[in-house]
A and B are shown apart, each in its own frame.
Chain A
Amino acid sequence: MTAVFWKELADHLGSRRFVIFFFLILIVGGASAYLAAQALSGRETASEFIYLNLFTVSGGGLPSFLGFLAFFGPLIGVVLGFDAVNSEFNRGTASRVLSQPIYRDWWINGKFLAGFTALAIAVASIILIIVGLGLYIFGFPPNGVEISRIAMFFVISVIYLGFWLSLGILFSIVFRQTATSALASIALWLFFTLFLYMLAGLIADQVAPIKPGVSADVFAKHESIRDLVLRFSPVALYEEATTAILIPSYRGLGIAALLQEAAVPTSPLPLGQSLLIVWPQLVSLVALTSVCFAISYVIFMRREIRST
């Protein structure tokens, strides 16, 4: 498996598409963080966690880095995976590789780990560059809490992108044509980043319509139904998890947390507490990834390896 891993990793890091996406994210992400930094350093009262705000605050019309990564991050994950297996069949290399003494699942795992590592390298360098930018603008280093929370943000982000990678690889197994798997991946990306939000709103409107003068109960129900639907979206899971990590006072989604927040002045939670809040989201993301893997294995393990 290490042989597959190193080869695939070298392929990724040297590939044009990886480099293009890397710089795309670097430029847009860097710009959004830069604008956020400008907005932050212009403020009267300095924020307690200014380095964390760097990732969550939006300035100058650009979305926050977090929002940007939640929306476009899936594309990088998918781009590294969508032709992982079918292109090997189309090139005729699959027959050659799979007639060597390696297990088929190793091959898939090696490909996944290589993509995962490439993603980790990309995300880590972008985060480091943003922190460096902050250092340059603010003139002081991040504190320990900030560093540990940023590290956590990194881990969650890579898991999130890893899910999309595993989805891309799954599609590269399901579809013989790379064009088809690319389209399917993009369709699912649009579904989760845009349509599911609309759908969640629609369903909530149907079940608990909000008319002028409805009670707080209906309002709460509306919100919780919306949340329930969004639970199925890796995008929403990621946004919720990273929000809790990057905004220490964040106590969870929904009206209950909102009311609570209004009642109690927002005090930052320790990292452990924040982790507790995001635990279900993290588990869900990992579970979704595992599902992609399980389906991949089931389809691929007994498939005929014929070079056409």
Chain B
Amino acid sequence: MGLVVEAKGLKKYYDGVKAVDGLDLEIGEGEIYGLLGPNGAGKTTTILILLGLTEPTAGEVKVLGYDPTREPLKVKRLTGYLPENLGFYDDLSARENLLYTAHLNRIPEKEAKKRVAEVLEIVGLSDVAERPVRAFSRGMRQRLGIADVLLKDPKFVILDEPTSGIDPEGAQQILEMIVHLRDEKGMTIMLSSHLLHQVQRICDRVGIIHRGRLVAQGTLGELGAVVEEGACLFEVRTSRVDEALLGALRGIEGVTSVEAEGELIRIKATTDVRPRIARAVIESGAELVELKGHTYTLEEIYLRYFQE
């Protein structure tokens, strides 16, 4: 598997502000990579560096084998970019806007017209192709943006906050489109977002960025494992909760904390102590309603990192 993005020790300082601070990033061919982090984490800055739209203060980057600072055109020919706040020429129609992009990519006129019609079809905007973009909703603009990105048939697509400011249904549509691009067109996709519950489902791999640093990277499973290291979480539901039971649970070897919340008891332990929890509950005379090991959602992983 070839690497589409290879960045080492990437830094970008704005007089004193460390927007990106020693970032290592690798994105493999054909994957959807989610760069996740709160606002101001350095996501957009990282993306600008990858596209040669800003120069890194230090570090090395290769996108599709080219250095974006030295050979920006080669990178841009193969890479589609959906900016965070994307704008169109409001007086021109959707079709005219896309045709302009096609011309900038030197796609011959005949081919350009065909491609524009195709991509408008893909994003479901064929019906409004002749309308000025002024009248478009935020969701329609975003879809038009994706059409704009697809026009040059890129190998690699970078989407900056593709779902922010869009209603859940529209966001869902866009996410489905992104999956479609990977599956049908074999494109590599990098997307940034601060709304991880929305995007986590579609990402093959995520990187969590905070204050310009990548604090964790991997598949969802891997990230969960990192968090869980030395800490398993169990949730127990019983018919009755009393101090005797809690005391018994605390007495189990390997249990580090026990918290009760009504009927629900949360237990943290260093190893899998489920059989002993079950026995303790039965022995206390209560009924065991439910016992489950907890898997971390990305949301929790995310929160956990940002609490530090």
Contacts and interface: CB of A to CB of B under 8 A. Distances in A.
Nearest to A95: B83
A306 interface: yes
Nearest to B84: A307
A147 interface: no
A4 B104 contact: yes
B73 A103 contact: yes
Contact of B87 (A7, A91, A302): A91
Contacts of B81: 95-96, 99
B100 A3 contact: yes
Nearest to A104: B72
A4 B90 CA distance: 17
Interface stretch (B51-59, B179-187, B188-196, B271-279): B51-59
Contacts of A98: 53
A93 interface: yes
A91 B100 CA distance: 16
A99 B86 CA distance: 12
A101 B53 contact: no
A304 interface: yes
B8 interface: no
A265 B106 CA distance: 61
B73 A96 contact: no
B76 interface: yes
Nearest to A3: B103
A177 to B, nearest CB: 16
Contact of A93 (B80, B84, B89): B89
A92 B100 contact: no
Nearest to A308: B85
Contact of B83 (A6, A96, A304): A96
B147 to A, nearest CB: 12
Contacts of B100: 3, 7
B136 interface: no
Contacts of A306: 44, 48, 53-54
Given A99-B53, A306-B53, A306-B54, A3 B104 contact: yes
B296 interface: no
B148 interface: yes
B143 interface: no
B104 A101 contact: yes
B101 interface: yes
Interface string A98-127: 111111000000000000000000000000
Contact of A99 (B44, B76, B89, B90): B76
Given A91-B90, A95-B83, A304 B76 contact: no
Nearest to A15: B91
A97 B104 contact: yes
A137 interface: no
Interface in A255-308: 302, 304-308
Contacts of A4: 104
Contacts of A91: 87-90
A103 B72 CA distance: 9
Interface in B55-106: 55, 73-74, 76-77, 79-81, 83-90, 100-101, 103-106
Chain B CB within 10 Å, residue with most, of A95, A97, A103, A305:
A95
Given A302-B55, A306-B48, A306-B54, A100 B90 contact: no
B270 to A, nearest CB: 46
Contacts of B213: none
A295 to B, nearest CB: 20
Contacts of A3: 100, 103-104, 106
A91 B133 CA distance: 12
11 contacts: A3-B100, A3-B106, A7-B100, A91-B90, A96-B101, A99-B53, A100-B152, A101-B74, A101-B106, A103-B73, A307-B87
Given A99-B53, A101-B152, 7 more contacts: A3-B100, A91-B90, A92-B85, A95-B53, A97-B101, A101-B73, A306-B44
